[in-house]
Structure 1
Amino acid sequence: MKPFLLILPALFLSCALNCAELDFDALNQSAKDNLINLINIDTSQPEPQETKALRYIYKKLNKYKIDWDIYRTEKPRGNLIAVLKADKELAKRNEKPLILISHLDTAAIQDGWTLPPAKATLKDNRIYGLGSTDAKNYAAINLTILTRLSKGDFKLNRDIIFLFTSDEESGSEKGIKFLYDRYPEKLKAGYALNEGGGVMKNEDGKIPVDILFVEAATKMYMDILVTAKGDGGNASSVGANNAIYKLSQTLATIESYQPLYKFSPLAKTFFERIFPYQDDDAQTTLKLLASEDPLQAQQTAKIISEDEFFKTQISDTITPTVLTSGTEANTAFNEASANLNCRLLPQSDPMAFVDELSALFAEDENVTLTVIERPEIPFPQPPASFDDPLFKAIEKAAEQTFPGILVLPGLTPASSESEFLRRHGVITYGIGPLLQENGNGPHQPDESISEKDFFEQLKLTFNIVLNLVTDPQPENKASAPKPETNEEDEAREPVQDDFLPIIQEGAAAI
């Protein structure tokens, strides 16, 4: 049987329904300037100080006379909300608002950068810099959409809430979680568009069709500490009952353990959508995956799981991440531990998962498992179907931007702010630019995005927004906007790291 290959990437083409009304070249320049300026503001963990980036954003909004509010737990850690209101007549329809969300903090600066991480570098038609793919590219595009739509020549059928947040990379305690705890009324919405997905291209023949992967759910995050006990003492005299050897044997047992595969409605949709693009052998295997015989379905799932991406859709996973034991080179410590980072399917029972894992060592009193971090239950479940207005807007925009592309909803193992939105009943999807297989991606040295992919991300996002928030008016199109006279020059001004006056929580700009 031919191997399953699904590593996802887009063609660069047409426009949205209102594309004739938009100067995408000017919008692209504005978005690119926003991205460069945001990269030039260091908001890396562990002390991101996102308010510095908010300064750039609110100065831009002030030029467009757009009201905004900043909410924060402490002065350096701000979150900004700006709202474009629906047209007064169309607002009577009470369409649920859309949230466009992007976080401003980035991962910590890793070793291995050959270019300055907190200074944008344009090289070989790529934009290098920390946050260029996670997630200052989203912030730059959302800011461009906000300033363009603020001109008022598009009649919005619903409010759009633009949300620039803090602390996503370390759990969102000072970001969206704080906002929902303190100001839930500010985030009342029906739909949200976030990071999490991306484009996969068929340029090298690894996949049968171009794909827009849409994140429709995330996995649960869980940390378990496994501890093995042994004899301690001088390293010259401790025998075979060594805690580190015991831990290695324990980890080998865990490595060979495979939780039962699970087939959620989302997983079924995922495989149904890729089915027509598989060869005969792969289609036969996918049919067996849907077998009513549980044993046959599990055996088929094991075969399919040789593809790591497929495995994420149907399996809980366990990855050792941190090992600890003694601190002296000449002394054997009597305990050795490993952190197990577990990513569980939305329908999994976390404590049942722990019980099943613990059962592997039920007869061994020298091995213990302790839950360090557990997910909050109930966990948001994937949509039962994909007939909501936002997903339809995504499908339409995908075809407008990348004709012939397959729109594929699925889940990602990565955590994001989408979990908090979904917990509050907001239908949330994640999109993004080209998904990079190797190097230069999120959290990697020399993180970068190609200018072409960034332009395509801008068009895709704007198309989605227009499809959802504007009504088609083919016979009464707005005139094309006049080119900006000052926006590009203003965007290129270096952002001064001067003192930011205290902004009270919820205080609107004047």
Structure 2
Amino acid sequence: MLLQNLLRLNTVNPPGNETIAAELLRDYLAASDIPCELVGRTPDRLNLVARLKGGDGPTLAFLAHTDTVRADAEEWTRNPWSGDLVDGEIWGRGALDMKDQVAASAVAFSSLWREGFEPAGDVLLVLTADEEVNEDFGLSWLVQEHPELVRADYALNEGGGERCVFGGDVFYLCATGEKMSAPFRVRVHGRSGHASVPSIADSALVKAAPIIDALGRYSPPKTMIPEVARFLELVLGERPPLEETLDRARLLHPLAAEIIEPLLSFTIAPTMIEASKQINVIPAECTITVDCRLPPGMHPADVDPLIRTAIGPGDYDLEWLESDGGTRSPMVTPLWTALEAWVNEQDPGARLAPVVCAGFTDSHWMREAFGTVAYGFFPQRSMDPELAARLVHSADERIPVDDLELGVHALRAAVLSLVA
């Protein structure tokens, strides 16, 4: 099985080495006489692009990345690169994020090719490197250096597809946007000195402690973005007052609250600290790095004053680092209609519910470069959505074969509905 073979390739990023996955996928496509291109900044980090040519209608891209996060084998029940099939589930790092969708996209694309399908517009297969770290080897590089290869009107990527039951009703999540990753650094200043005589110095590390505490305790103001408003209208039947939103969602189902909680405000989380390099030197400077995520439409300048107020006065500098993401696609489009029709056909009565990814996805690069309508949708019906969420980037990652097959069906259906 293609997914098992992909999982047996170690493409942990860094360093990535995604070329081994691109070559495996190239060989899989070649078995059906499907041409493709392998392109990249460096030979060891290649991206794969294939095209099923159509007419002048809309173009649809299957988008997925071949790199993964690291895995500590000691934490796993099975070898993270085994690709073992156990009780109807395939195990391995990347089984859910996102070599499953890589494999399903390649299978769906090649099946349409073999059938001689003639789409109204081109269908693209875009399997990229470097999503997990994004050092400009993957899609960010492709849209700049080879836009002619990846430009598309629509794209299907990761970020949604979970089947959720709320109040007896069935909903499949569809990610229509993602928050902006906007990290910042706080440099706290003091005066160095010998650690044997602390009174002669002014430790920046000690001065950093209340700042870290303030950032950890800070509760940003809540806001209602359109995607959350629509989600609530669907699952609750109404849009409650903002201050009641989380409690109402939690009463409906804990998962509903977990989905919307990080979307009701920007978030900040101190994650790294750097101070003295020697045990006997009191540091004159301490740097705190903070992960900050902003809802679509919000920018660092909007929240900078709030964060400075939360920290309070002191001898420090606050520096915003490079930000990515924060884009969204409309919730009413032909692709949405196609996915919702498929959901209702597979699961009569089920609805499609919009969400925004709390993390980053490659959909951002397509939206930013081309105005692509990009959705995160890869359906999961067999695995409990709460379990799946815990397994992503964690030990014992695995996917039911039934969900893999369902994903192939959904991708094919999107093509047949949108560009037939």
Report the Cα distance in structure 1 between the residues aligned to 2:365 and 2:124, rounded to whole angstroms: 16
Report the Cα distance in structure 1 between the residues aligned to 2:247 and 2:209, rounded to whole angstroms: 27
**Is 1:287–2:247 an aligned residue pair?**
no
Among 366, 384, 401, the alignment partner of 2:346 is 401
- Paired residues of 1:244 and 1:336 also in contact (CA < 8 A): yes
Among 83, 96, 105, the alignment partner of 2:67 is 105
The alpha-carbon deviation at position 319 of structure 1 amounts to 0.9
Report the Cα distance in structure 2 between the residues aligned to 1:238 and 1:302, rounded to whole angstroms: 47
The alpha-carbon deviation at position 114 of structure 1 amounts to 3.5
The alpha-carbon deviation at position 439 of structure 1 amounts to 7.3
Report the Cα distance in structure 2 between the residues aligned to 1:173 and 1:157, rounded to whole angstroms: 32
- Paired residues of 1:196 and 1:215 also in contact (CA < 8 A): yes
Q: Aligned residue for 1:266? A: 227
- Paired residues of 1:266 and 1:382 also in contact (CA < 8 A): no
Among 60, 71, 76, the alignment partner of 2:44 is 76
**Is 1:417–2:362 an aligned residue pair?**
yes
Among 214, 233, 237, the alignment partner of 2:174 is 214
Report the Cα distance in structure 1 between the residues aligned to 2:312 and 2:351, rounded to whole angstroms: 47
Deviation digits for residues 37-57 of structure 1 (CA, Å, limit 9, x no counterpart): 111122111122222112222
Matched position secondary structure for 1:96: coil
Q: Aligned residue for 2:158? A: 195
Report the Cα distance in structure 1 between the residues aligned to 2:130 and 2:143, rounded to whole angstroms: 14
Report the Cα distance in structure 1 between the residues aligned to 2:287 and 2:244, rounded to whole angstroms: 34
The one-letter amino acid paired with 1:374 is S
Q: Aligned residue for 2:295? A: 345
| 1:416–1:152 CA distance, 2 compared to 1 (3 A) | same
The alpha-carbon deviation at position 76 of structure 1 amounts to 1.4
| 1:420–1:229 CA distance, 2 compared to 1 (3 A) | same
The one-letter amino acid paired with 1:222 is A
Deviation digits for residues 331-387 of structure 1 (CA, Å, limit 9, x no counterpart): 4323333211000011112123123212344532x23312222347xx53442xx33
Report the Cα distance in structure 2 between the residues aligned to 1:407 and 1:184, rounded to whole angstroms: 31
> 1:398-477 to 2 correspondence within 5 Å?
398-423=343-368, 424-432=370-378, 433=380, 434=383, 435-437=385-387, 441-470=391-420
**Is 1:183–2:130 an aligned residue pair?**
no
Report the Cα distance in structure 2 between the residues aligned to 1:381 and 1:123, rounded to whole angstroms: 38
User: How many equivalent residue pairs?
Assistant: 407
Which has the larger Rg?
A: 1
Deviation digits for residues 245-283 of structure 1 (CA, Å, limit 9, x no counterpart): 43221122223333332223223212211222xxxxxx6
| 1:227–1:438 CA distance, 2 compared to 1 (3 A) | farther
- Paired residues of 1:201 and 1:207 also in contact (CA < 8 A): no
Report 1 or 2 for greater relative contact order, CA contacts < 8 Å, sequence distance ≥ 6.
Answer: 1
Instruction: Provide runs of 4+ in structure 1 moved above 6 Å.
Output: none
- Paired residues of 1:441 and 1:447 also in contact (CA < 8 A): yes
Unpaired segments ≥5 residues, structure 2? 251-256
> 1:307-386 to 2 correspondence within 5 Å?
307-361=257-311, 363-364=313-314, 366-375=315-324, 380-383=327-330, 386=331
Alignment root-mean-square deviation, CA: 2.5
Matched position secondary structure for 1:65: coil
Matched position secondary structure for 1:169: coil
Give the stretch that moved more between structures: 124-133 or 304-313: 304-313
| 1:131–1:302 CA distance, 2 compared to 1 (3 A) | closer
Matched position secondary structure for 1:127: strand
Report the Cα distance in structure 1 between the residues aligned to 2:184 and 2:141, rounded to whole angstroms: 26
- Paired residues of 1:401 and 1:459 also in contact (CA < 8 A): no
Deviation digits for residues 45-76 of structure 1 (CA, Å, limit 9, x no counterpart): 11222221122222222221112122121111
Matched position secondary structure for 2:169: coil
- Paired residues of 1:243 and 1:333 also in contact (CA < 8 A): yes
The one-letter amino acid paired with 1:369 is L
Give the stretch that moved more between structures: 387-396 or 179-188: 179-188
Q: Aligned residue for 1:64? A: 32
Among 199, 204, 210, the alignment partner of 1:243 is 204
The alpha-carbon deviation at position 153 of structure 1 amounts to 4.7
Report the Cα distance in structure 2 between the residues aligned to 1:127 and 1:437, rounded to whole angstroms: 15
Deviation digits for residues 108-127 of structure 1 (CA, Å, limit 9, x no counterpart): 23352332222211223221
Matched position secondary structure for 1:216: strand
Q: Aligned residue for 1:152? A: 115
Matched position secondary structure for 1:327: coil
- Paired residues of 1:397 and 1:467 also in contact (CA < 8 A): no
The alpha-carbon deviation at position 413 of structure 1 amounts to 1.4
Matched position secondary structure for 1:210: strand
The one-letter amino acid paired with 1:110 is D
Q: Aligned residue for 1:254? A: 215
The alpha-carbon deviation at position 230 of structure 1 amounts to 4.1
The alpha-carbon deviation at position 438 of structure 1 amounts to 6.6
Report the Cα distance in structure 2 between the residues aligned to 1:392 and 1:157, rounded to whole angstroms: 17
Q: Aligned residue for 1:163? A: 126
**Is 1:223–2:170 an aligned residue pair?**
no
The alpha-carbon deviation at position 207 of structure 1 amounts to 6.0
Matched position secondary structure for 1:446: coil
Among 58, 61, 78, the alignment partner of 1:96 is 58
| 1:103–1:361 CA distance, 2 compared to 1 (3 A) | closer
Report the Cα distance in structure 1 between the residues aligned to 2:288 and 2:88, rounded to whole angstroms: 43
- Paired residues of 1:439 and 1:447 also in contact (CA < 8 A): no
The one-letter amino acid paired with 1:399 is N
Report the Cα distance in structure 2 between the residues aligned to 1:245 and 1:343, rounded to whole angstroms: 27
